[in-house]
Amino acid sequence: MKKICSEFLMEQFGDEDIVKEIYDEYVRSLLEKITEAKNALAESAWVPLDRVAHAVKGNALAAGDAPMAEVAVALRGAAKLANADDAASLIARLDELSKEL
């Protein structure tokens, strides 16, 4: 479990079982959202990409994962500007960060 998330979630909930359950759901959801982001980018579907990035940002903040949230915010910007190159780089960065989970 990523230390920053563990510490944040323990502050919020104080129960290791609950923290593990929330963290596991965060990871599962994040991996699903990264796939959705890749698919949206492949289709140049900018509004769906923005929605996915928004969800990633919210989930990351709820789990205490500030680095992931920062990349998601940048991805929202790229989606709003329909910037495929930046979006691809940011999705790749989300993918890299997800390997740290």
Q: What would the pLDDT profile of 9-35 be if each residue is shown by its tens digit?
A: 999 999 999 999 999 999 999 999 999
Q: Which domain holds residue 14?
A: 3-98
**Predicted local confidence at residue 8, as pLDDT:** 97
User: According to the model, what pLDDT value does residue 93 have?
Assistant: 98
User: Could you give the angle at which helices 3-13 and 16-42 cross, rounded to 10 degrees?
Assistant: 130
The CATH number assigned to the domain holding 74 equals: 1.20.120.160
Q: What is the pLDDT of residue 20?
A: 97
Predicted local distance difference test score (pLDDT) of residue 82: 98
Q: Is the separation of the CB atoms in 6 and 19 below 8 Å? A: yes
pLDDT of residue 13: 96
The model carries a pTM of 0.94
Q: Residue 64 has what pLDDT?
A: 96
* pLDDT in the model for residue 41: 98
Q: How many domains does the chain contain in total? A: 1
- Joined together, the tokens standing for residue 77 give 């910007």
Q: Report pLDDT for 84.
A: 98
Over the range 13-43, which residues count as b (16 or more CB within 10 Å of their CB) and which as e? eeeeeebeebbeebbeebeebbebbbebbee
Distance in angstroms between the alpha carbons of the first and the last residue of the chain: 6
- At residue 55, the pLDDT reads 98
Q: List, for the chain, all residue ranges whose pLDDT scores fall below the cut of 70.
A: none
